[in-house]
Structure 1
Amino acid sequence: MTTAGLRTAAWSLTCLTAGALLVGCSASAGSGDAEPKLSSDKLADTVAQKLADTTGRPKPDVTCPEDLTGKVGTTTRCTLTADDGSSLGVTVTVSSVDGDRINFDIKADETASPAAN
């Protein structure tokens, strides 16, 4: 296995370990709406930072397709993309809302998708 392959395997193994855990996060959203919303960019940044903190690895590239509405039970799917192009899905679920603070859990999938050729 090449050095890049070892790094990818190590990252995947780390993500698998993170996937076995349900990690709690929270972030402040813009106020003024009946239900607060966390922008997709801020959500992606918060998820990436929490995964980095949990795994002890560098902050991964995470993208989220939509804003997160602060309503308990709301879910969205974000994507973590590794340096080799492989990806791992991350589910974000709102667990509680306190004013403009949205508390949510993140759970990484157990299996990564290979890079597109």
Structure 2
Amino acid sequence: MTTARLSATARGFTAVAAGVLLAGCSGSVTVEKSKPTLSADKLATTVSEKLAAQTGRPKPRITCPEDLAGKVGTTTRCTLTADDGSTLGVTVTVSSVEGNQINFGIKADDKASPPAN
């Protein structure tokens, strides 16, 4: 097992992520298109809000590389970046689509990556 020195912030960050994993998290967004798609920016904002609500902590910094297509089973990977620069992958998976509403689950990785040197 690789051991890395993580700051107290990173350890707290990992504990928060573990709490999200255990409790589970989901979200839904209504979009106005014939083929529902959620923009990467709106997805990042929604994931950040859901994680903050789930953990009772401030909204984390989330980035998502692509729009999320409203098709059941579609996934994308977002990145949560802590204040110390450590990162945690977050998988977003579309669970259902009801008209223009995209429902999705959020799952954080088990381990954070330490900050770049």
- Tell me, yes or no, if structure 1 residue 86 matches structure 2 residue 77: no
- Tell me, yes or no, if structure 1 residue 6 matches structure 2 residue 11: no
The one-letter amino acid of 1:29's match is V
Count of aligned positions: 112
* Structure-to-structure mapping, 1:1-117, within 5 angstroms: 5-32=7-34, 35-117=35-117
Separation of aligned partners in 1, 2:87 and 2:22: 17
Report the RMSD for the aligned CA atoms in angstroms: 1.4
Separation of aligned partners in 1, 2:52 and 2:30: 20
TM-score for both structures, normalised by structure 2: 0.90
Determine helix, strand or coil for the equivalent of 1:95.
strand
Structure 1 gaps, min length 5: none
Separation of aligned partners in 2, 1:90 and 1:105: 10
Structure 2 gaps, min length 5: 1-6
Instruction: Name the stretch that deviates more: 93-102 or 17-26.
Output: 17-26
Separation of aligned partners in 2, 1:19 and 1:79: 15
